[in-house]
Amino acid sequence: MRGMLGEYLPIALLAGLALLFAVGSLAASALLRPSRPTPAKLAPYECGIEPVRLPAGERFSVRFYLVAMLFIIFDVEVIFLFPWAVAFRELGLFGLVEMAVFLALVLVAYVYVWRGGGLDWSAEGPRPRATHERAREVVRAG
Amino acid sequence: MRVELAPIAPELLLVGAGIAVLLGGVLARRADPLAHLAVSLAGVAGAAAASVMLWSREGATALAGAVAVDRFGVVARLVLLGVAALALLLAHHTLARDGELRPEVPALILFATAGMTLLAVSADLVTTFVALEVLSLSLYVLTGSSRRLVSLEGAMKYFLLGAFSTAFFLYGVAMAYGATGTTSLGGIAHALAGRTETPALALVAMALLAVGFGFKVSAAPFHMWTPDAYQGAPTAVTAFMSAGTKVAAFAALLRVLDVALQPLGWDWGPVVAGLAAVSVVVGSVLAIAQTDVKRMLAYSSVAHAGFVLIGATAPGAPGIDAALFYLLAYALMIVGAFGVVSLVSQGERGTSLEDHAGLYRRSPVLAGLFALFLLSLAGIPPTAGFIAKVSVFRAAVEAGHWWLALVGVLASVVAAFAYIRLMVLMYMREPVGHREPDPSPVPRLVLAIPAAGTLLLGVLPGLVTDVLGKAAVLRW
Amino acid sequence: MSVPIGWFLAVSAALFATGTVGVLVRRNALVMFMSVELQLNGVNLALVAFSRLHGDLTGQVLTFFSLVVAAAEVVVGLAIIVAVFRRARTANVDELSELRW
């Protein structure tokens, strides 16, 4: 009984600390900030212009697709970290080096996307070169 | 754990050079295409040297059975690296001329080449799958790299059908694994050899793998993507993919047929023979109906896939020997042919048959080179294409498939019409319009290499028969 | 706990067949592409089922590779389809007729 609880104690502690931090920071900001609401302050902010309608059911900008694509690639790479983490001790130094090489390759892809402008989110949209070409290239190095 | 990297050193060098070019393109203040070309060619040369060093180390597999170390792999790699070097040079020139050269192009060519060479030496279906995808994904992007609508459309059709075929291939791998409990080629052969009756799953696996490979080598009836992708892609890229994909995918197919599925020889024999017959007939007949040179060469590549398959129907070393010679000859002549088209045309304009009318008047050198490659594609002596056709037909006849050789000969006669019509246009007609072919001398010198190879193999095939004979034994 | 292997294979074959039919009858590039993904999921199910049947991990490892490759395909494919859509304003394969089929 005691052994089983003991195993989960660190997790319980961590969960408790996380909860405390979240509740604590919200409570602190609610208590410390001044609260003087006016109608103007409660309106949705849109560059000082009166909002005509809220965005609903509109088409997504193509930039969202770009971000989604980049996300998928970097997200799925984690799949190879999982089995390595499970067999970390058995694999030892060999596994560590392998994983370092793998992550270095992912990093190459990241540098490429970054320097190529794939992560820019400027008003005029990504530069023409950065739209689809860049995203595709990520695949290779990853 | 000790891991020996020499067996995959060529791939590592190619990928390393690719990464260098890719990062150089985004990190350097001014991208210098010439520097990218130099790094790329250095990578290819290094990979070739690393491959040659594996010649004397024949035997078994390396990296936990993932790759084979044999002379077949060395020869296949060298052919692929030669294709890559020619394609890099052609792409550098023609894409810069058309304003479409970006550092991604040589980088992707290098990545695709790494996939191809890995495919040619894979001794495990998992490796085969990963290599196939590395090469395919790179080629999808390369096909669409010019961002003209034709190019993008070709890329989309290539991609959709390519992904479709990948699913079939992977399902085939799953079935083979289910039937035998392993994915290594040798292991599958071992598991199948012991059975008195073939498990149904193994037959399903064979059929699905045949569909997957059929798409990749563009054998009929799985060739629908070929003309669109070949026409849409920038011509230098077409030269690369038409030669490279075929050599690599056939190398892997030969390994699967002659190693993993060797115990099922009686079952796959008729399947391969059927694919071969349909491919030569469909490719040859449809090549005649085309009005665009790139599409005509695409259908001709379907027919040539059929000719290689005719050679592959002969089991064991004779079949591999014939197929390997055919692939070598085919790589030389198709890179050369598309290379000439890339100089005659510009972007997507100037690829129709009419645009080649009177080419002899405008550029006797290009017309002469093109004529040589076309004669070789038609299989007329004294060219490599003739010797190659003779050797696959001989292998088929010796294996008892004389009807297949007969179909092949008849189809060659039909296909010859398409090639000879183009030559008549080039030599006997007056030029139409004012389009002048690319005048620069350097790409002509580059094209002299495959031309010399085509002639040399046609006159003195003995130069390579010794090497190919030693390479015709697969190890696992 | 002990679902026979045949059931898994039946579901896997059904998924694969649905995907195949989807690619063949639908004409929207995105839907065709989703059908390909369905095929790959059918394959993954078969691999995992076989892996349990044989009691070794090769099948599961191959599933990892298949997932990653599928993700890479998604990115390349979406990029191409988006690029085509921006140029041609359509994702219908039959309406793209720059190249004759």
pLDDT in tens, A87-126: 888 888 888 998 999 999 999 988 998 888 877 776 444 4
Residue A54: the pLDDT is 53
Question: Are C68 and A136 in contact (CB < 8 Å)?
Answer: no
Q: What is the rounded average pLDDT for all residues in chain B?
A: 91
Question: Are C80 and A80 in contact (CB < 8 Å)?
Answer: no
| Inside any domain, residue C100 | no
Domain count, chain B: 1
| Inside any domain, residue C99 | no
Place of tokens 């193509």: A62
| Inside any domain, residue C78 | yes
User: In whole angstroms, how far apart are CA B48 and each of B54, B158, B247, C14?
Assistant: 10, 29, 16, 46
Domain count, chain C: 1
pLDDT in tens, A45-58: 656 666 555 555 45
pLDDT band at residue B2 using 50, 70 and 90 as cut-offs: low
Residue B372: the pLDDT is 96
pLDDT at residue A5 greater than cutoff 70: no
Q: Which chains touch B (3 or more CB pairs under 8 A)?
A: A, C
Domain A2-141: which topology? Methane Monooxygenase Hydroxylase; Chain G, domain 1 (1.20.58)
Angle formed at CA B401 by CA B408 and CA B470, multiple of 5 degrees: 90
Closest by Cα among B176, B15, B60, B187 to C62: B176
Question: Are C67 and A142 in contact (CB < 8 Å)?
Answer: no
User: Which residue range is the domain that position B111 belongs to?
Assistant: 6-471
Amino acid letter, C40:
L
C28 has which bridge partners?
Answer: C92
CB B131 within 8 A of CB B125: no
Question: Are C73 and B126 in contact (CB < 8 Å)?
Answer: no
Q: Could you tell me the residue ranges of all domains in chain A?
A: 2-141
3-state secondary structure of C26: coil
Residue A140: the pLDDT is 43
Residue B210: the pLDDT is 94
Residue B197: the pLDDT is 73
| Inside any domain, residue B125 | yes
Residue B217: the pLDDT is 94
Residue A49: the pLDDT is 63
pLDDT at residue B432 greater than cutoff 90: no
C52 interfaces chain B, CB cutoff of 8 Å: no
Quote the tokens at residue B438: 């690319």
Q: Residues B326-345: what's their mean pLDDT?
A: 95
d(CA B103, CA B24): 8
pLDDT in tens, B120-156: 999 999 999 999 999 999 999 999 988 788 899 899 9
Q: How many CB pairs under 8 A join A and B?
A: 40
Find the CB nearest A72 among C71, C80, C86: C71
pLDDT at residue C49 greater than cutoff 60: yes
| Inside any domain, residue C15 | yes
Residue B115: the pLDDT is 97
Closest by Cα among B338, B356, B319, B211 to B274: B211
| Inside any domain, residue B261 | yes
Residue C30: the pLDDT is 86
Q: Residue C19's domain is classified under what CATH number?
A: 1.10.287.3510
User: Which residue range is the domain that position C30 belongs to?
Assistant: 5-94
